[in-house]
Amino acid sequence: MKIALGADHAGFEYKDRIAEKLRGLGHEILDFGTHDATPVDYPQYGFAVGEAVATGEADRGILVCGSSLGIAMAANKVPGIRCAPVMDPYSAELARRHNDANVIAFSERLTGWEMIERMLQVYLETGFDGGRHAYRVEQLFEFGDAQRVRTLKDLERGEVTEAQTPKDLL
């Protein structure tokens, strides 16, 4: 796989270790930096990895920042990106099986390296379940004017309605 990597100054050490590990497994790496502890702005790395995946330059993306949160928020601004910040292997598995996450974000400050290695393996080896999950994931990308009109009606009613998953998908 071709994998895009990015991290800020609080995540570059894990990012470099991830790059080394993935190269050893035969993956091609696109490393967007950063490469040292000089303070940088995490949104720029989230955007770069997001665009690399969204344009097809990379198959998947992996991001690291101090908490995993800000850099994931940045990646999710890029249309077509489903980035999950994860801290345990089961979340990493569900991010793939249920949400078809094409980018994953890790925390260098809160997560031990062994946990990162396990989550990395799960993220790369787990497929998407499709079916009802595909139907729901598609809705994430239909957030245009029609969806907003629908949601504003839900706000008026004070409750979300008509969100039942079609029975043939269950």
Nearer to ligand RB5, 119 or 124 (CB): 119
Q: Which of 9, 27, 98, 133 is catalytic?
A: 98
Separation of alpha carbons 126 and 71, rounded Å: 23
Examine residue 69 and tell whether it contacts ligand RB5 (CB under 6 A). yes
83 is catalytic: no
CA distance 100 to 116: 19
Alpha-carbon dihedral sign for residues 12, 15, 20, 21: positive
Which amino acid, residue 90? Y
Residue nearest to ligand RB5 (CB): 70
33 makes contact with ligand RB5 (CB under 6 A)? no
How many residues of this chain interact with ligand RB5, rule: CB under 6 A?
8
**Contact between 102 and ligand RB5 (CB under 6 A)?**
no
Q: Are strands 83-85 and 2-7 parallel, antiparallel or unpaired?
A: unpaired
β-strand partners of 106: 64
The catalytic site residues sit at 65, 98
Q: Which residues bind ligand RB5 (CB under 6 A)?
A: 8, 10, 42, 65-67, 69-70
